[in-house]
Structure 1
């Protein structure tokens, strides 16, 4: 119990500690004029609004055109890889087993020579 009372006495003293806060003051010159931003949003004319919308549409259209082009390239490449894979699988099923064993041995020997 004595140790517990000592811990309780230490905790409040830790909370009562105060830290120093730095406060910075500056003296303003006599001719100080605060910066006030003027409201730039004035009433738009219908022509300006239409032109802004057309510009926004044009940018969006260009962006989508670029995305379509890249997706098309990716799909064409994927299709080529798929067709090449299917052709290699089809050719392995179409060849007789004796030919496959010969080709596998030849490929294995060629790999050993390179290493």
Structure 2
């Protein structure tokens, strides 16, 4: 998309779990398929300590798409992703975590 075009979304909330638990839940992709409507499969193609490449097959209405996300992780505080797709375009996002009150984590997310 050109400058000023596209979709931006942001959200922030306090998770009722400590930072380590929230990090673990935020970076586990095993349940993504069963939890997300339209997701047919999730496959980790490449994995290292701070980087993953994840392929997700989805069905939206009558169209099936294979989306490949590059995910960079800075444990336990940040997850950044990028998707480049011929139909969807260049799509990016970030999830930032920080310890809040005891047993809680502040989560800030944005996509663009």
TM-score, normalized by the shorter chain, greater than 0.5: no
Instruction: Tell me which protein shows more strand as a share of its residues.
Output: 2
Instruction: Tell me which protein shows more helix as a share of its residues.
Output: 1
Q: Normalization by structure 2: what TM-score? A: 0.14
Q: Normalization by structure 1: what TM-score? A: 0.14
Larger radius of gyration: 1
Structure ranking higher on relative contact order (CA contacts 8 Å, 6+ apart): 2
